[in-house]
Chains A and B, each alone.
Chain A
Amino acid sequence: MALTPEDVAKLAALARIDLTGEELQHLAPQLEGILEAVASVQQVADADIPPTSHALPLTNVFRPDEVRPSLPREDVLAGAPAAEEDRFRVPRILGEEA
């Protein structure tokens, strides 16, 4: 499967990474190499080997529905790039009309 610079540009846009044309040219073959490595693992995986998403053989790890203390608001907002009216302040959200 050949990855084109256009594919990489789309992935970059979805990941909000701003890449120059030169960087796209540079990264496309690298990502291609990663896909090839995964493909070689897939060759080994037979139908009798279930796909693994988790390393631990566990299911049903739950916690009881109990309220625990939240963080103090000052601490929470201290991590915000900007705050206003006790809320996180972010730039205008583009690309959407409402």
Chain B
Amino acid sequence: MSAAVMDYDEALAAFDPVMGLEVHVELSTASKMFCGCSTAFGAPPNTQTCPVCLGLPGALPVVNRTAVESAIRIGLALNCSIAEWCRFARKNYFYPDMPKNYQISQYDEPIAFDGWVEVDVDGEPFRIEIERAHMEEDTGKSLHVGGSTGRIHGASHSLLDYNRSGVPLIEIVTKPITGAGARAPEVARAYVAHLRDLLRALGVSDVRMEQGSLRCDANVSLRPDPAAPLGTRTETKNVNSLRSVERALRYEITRQAALLREGTPVTQETRHWHEDTGTTTAGRSKETAEDYRYFPEPDLVPVAPSREWVEELRATLPEQPHLRRKRLLAEWGYTELEMRDVVSSGALELIEQTVAAGCAPQAARKWWVGELARRANETGSELDALPISPAQVAQLQQLVEAGTINDKLARQVIEGVLAGEGEPAEVVESRGLAVVSDDDALGAAVDAAIAANPDVAEKIRGGKVQAAGALIGAVMKQMRGQADAARVRELILARLG
């Protein structure tokens, strides 16, 4: 059943949306939160587990120091206060993704709280208040068998892989985001992108949404106007790309608006986002915090970060993203508009790494924001998920500058790299894409072009040098774009000058 939705502009004319975003970040520590099992992604199922992360009787957790440091650094980067003393708590629930039947989390004593970030929404700053950032452990991964699409619905049974169970997780929760109006979905997207950049700069996570190391749950409710009390909210899960954050919120706003318009109350529930249909469907009704029967984790002693430790960690924070953007803009000589395009297409980090690999800033921008952004868009993937690295883009540009290929051939090289055909130089070799600057081969083509266009040749002999363009075009066509244009020009003028 597909629910009725209201036109977006109409919905926003009638209602004021209020959002809340919960972002889960998997930390890139070597070992898990409470045991020494590896956190490496993609290992064969159930090869990274032990008594602690399987919840076997008698096993005792011990906190990973690096994970606590990362949590504090994240808190500081979000302008949060850091707790002087806090505890872990057990969140009790029965679900096969957690073999202990509880998740070790934090409840009313998060390690970081009361922060804020300022995100860039189409060139304008928007401030988002952070409620808290707390430490917890990730759950195992379930695979539902027998259903049509791997979903629970219609499944006959489920298969569990506990490699991910116990991977350190930080949950970052915003305060209600008000005042975004019609831009709410864009604000949410900008916020998640901002967190992604910030966390990557901190070096605490891989922040790969497609691999699930950055996940977003989006709450939204509608009220008739900004003075009205908050409406009933829904929580949309399974929102695993920046694009989906925006789309899911847009959809949910139009769905709730249609319900409210016809006088049907919104049900407080968890909903699942479906990328394929662009809709959300109802999940299990939300447990209340009481149902989780939180209590202080008896197996772990409190965490009490000394102020000295916190200050030491503060000193390791990278430059704030907005200051960094300002600095790079000056260093790279981009215009404000160019920089905005770079940031909004998620290319800042990629360009920085490409420049670090020896590429000129303008060339790096041209490839990432041009050809590569176009291809990412075509396949609906994020720019950084494309199977081409900044080093490979730098190599590509070197090939262009060395005259081995021209821009047009470079696009074919990109196609080859994305198709997994190897490094740029290998693609040039295997696809035979190198520009021909060999005088014998070019000379033959030039002679043929002159013979085929006697009137043009005559003009050049008569001193109209600019007519050479037509002959260069003819040579290019004959050599399928692979001729060295500058050399062709020299050869033409040498023959006719």
Report A35-93 residues with CB < 8 Å from chain B CB.
53-54, 56, 58-71, 73, 76-77, 79, 84-93
Name the one of A53, A54, A61, A98 contacting B152, with C-beta atoms under 8 angstroms: A98
The reply to whether A87 and B159 form a contact with Cβ atoms under 8 Å apart is: yes
Question: In this assembly, does B293 line the interface, its C-beta being within 8 Å of a C-beta of chain A?
Answer: yes
**Chain B residues closer than 8 Å to A64, beta-carbon distance:** 65-66
Name the one of B30, B44, B146 contacting A65, with C-beta atoms under 8 angstroms: B30
**Chain B residues closer than 8 Å to A22, beta-carbon distance:** none
**CB of A92 to closest CB in B, whole Å:** 5
**CB of A97 to closest CB in B, whole Å:** 6
Name the one of A58, A65, A87, A92 contacting B160, with C-beta atoms under 8 angstroms: A87
The reply to whether A67 and B87 form a contact with Cβ atoms under 8 Å apart is: no
Which residue of the partner chain B has the closest CB to A68?
B36
Question: In this assembly, does A34 line the interface, its C-beta being within 8 Å of a C-beta of chain B?
Answer: no
The reply to whether B153 and A54 form a contact with Cβ atoms under 8 Å apart is: no
Report B20-44 residues with CB < 8 Å from chain A CB.
29-31, 35-38, 44
Question: In this assembly, does B240 line the interface, its C-beta being within 8 Å of a C-beta of chain A?
Answer: no
Which residue of the partner chain A has the closest CB to B61?
A63
The reply to whether B62 and A96 form a contact with Cβ atoms under 8 Å apart is: no
Question: In this assembly, does B151 line the interface, its C-beta being within 8 Å of a C-beta of chain A?
Answer: yes
A14-B291, A76-B49, A97-B284 known; A58+B301 contact, CB < 8 A: yes
The answer for the CA separation of A53 and B301 in the assembled complex, in Å, is: 9
The reply to whether B304 and A65 form a contact with Cβ atoms under 8 Å apart is: no
Interface residues on A, range: 35 or more
The answer for the CA separation of A17 and B64 in the assembled complex, in Å, is: 34
**What number of A-B contacts does a CB cutoff of 8 Å give?**
144
Contact code string B116-159 (vs A, CB < 8 Å = 1, else 0): 00000000000000000000000000111110000111011111
Which residue of the partner chain B has the closest CB to A52?
B296
**Chain A residues closer than 8 Å to B152, beta-carbon distance:** 92-93, 96-98
Question: In this assembly, does B85 line the interface, its C-beta being within 8 Å of a C-beta of chain A?
Answer: yes
**CB of B381 to closest CB in A, whole Å:** 23
The answer for the CA separation of A3 and B156 in the assembled complex, in Å, is: 39
The reply to whether B31 and A97 form a contact with Cβ atoms under 8 Å apart is: no
Main SS class of interface, A = loop
Question: In this assembly, does B96 line the interface, its C-beta being within 8 Å of a C-beta of chain A?
Answer: yes
The reply to whether B62 and A65 form a contact with Cβ atoms under 8 Å apart is: no
The reply to whether A85 and B45 form a contact with Cβ atoms under 8 Å apart is: yes
The reply to whether A79 and B304 form a contact with Cβ atoms under 8 Å apart is: no
Chain A binder among B50-58, B335-343, B391-399, B422-430: B50-58
Which residue of the partner chain A has the closest CB to B34?
A63
The reply to whether A68 and B304 form a contact with Cβ atoms under 8 Å apart is: no
The answer for the CA separation of A86 and B163 in the assembled complex, in Å, is: 12
The reply to whether A62 and B159 form a contact with Cβ atoms under 8 Å apart is: no
**CB of A59 to closest CB in B, whole Å:** 4
**Chain A residues closer than 8 Å to B281, beta-carbon distance:** 97-98
The answer for the CA separation of A66 and B50 in the assembled complex, in Å, is: 14
Residue in A64, A69, A71 with the greatest tally of chain B CB atoms within 10 Å:
A71
The answer for the CA separation of A53 and B90 in the assembled complex, in Å, is: 12
**CB of A38 to closest CB in B, whole Å:** 13
Question: In this assembly, does B94 line the interface, its C-beta being within 8 Å of a C-beta of chain A?
Answer: yes
The reply to whether B153 and A16 form a contact with Cβ atoms under 8 Å apart is: no
A66-B36, A67-B31, A68-B36 known; A89+B157 contact, CB < 8 A: yes
The answer for the CA separation of A97 and B303 in the assembled complex, in Å, is: 38
The answer for the CA separation of A60 and B387 in the assembled complex, in Å, is: 42
**Chain B residues closer than 8 Å to A60, beta-carbon distance:** 301, 303-305
A62-B64, A85-B45, A92-B152 known; A67+B96 contact, CB < 8 A: no
Question: In this assembly, does B328 line the interface, its C-beta being within 8 Å of a C-beta of chain A?
Answer: no
The reply to whether A97 and B283 form a contact with Cβ atoms under 8 Å apart is: yes
The reply to whether B36 and A59 form a contact with Cβ atoms under 8 Å apart is: no
Shortest 6 CB-CB distances between A and B: which pairs?
A68-B36, A65-B66, A62-B65, A53-B296, A87-B159, A59-B304
B→A interface (CB under 8 Å)? 29-31, 35-38, 44-51, 54, 56, 62-68, 85, 87, 92, 94-96, 142-146, 151-153, 155-162, 238, 272, 281-284, 291, 293, 296, 298, 300-305
With A60-B301, A65-B65 already in contact, 17 other A-B pairs whose C-beta atoms are closer than 8 Å: A16-B94, A53-B87, A61-B301, A63-B65, A70-B38, A71-B49, A73-B45, A76-B46, A79-B56, A85-B45, A85-B159, A86-B46, A87-B143, A90-B157, A92-B156, A93-B142, A98-B152
13 contacts between A and B (CB under 8 A): A59-B302, A63-B64, A65-B67, A69-B36, A71-B49, A76-B46, A76-B162, A88-B96, A88-B160, A90-B157, A90-B160, A97-B272, A98-B283
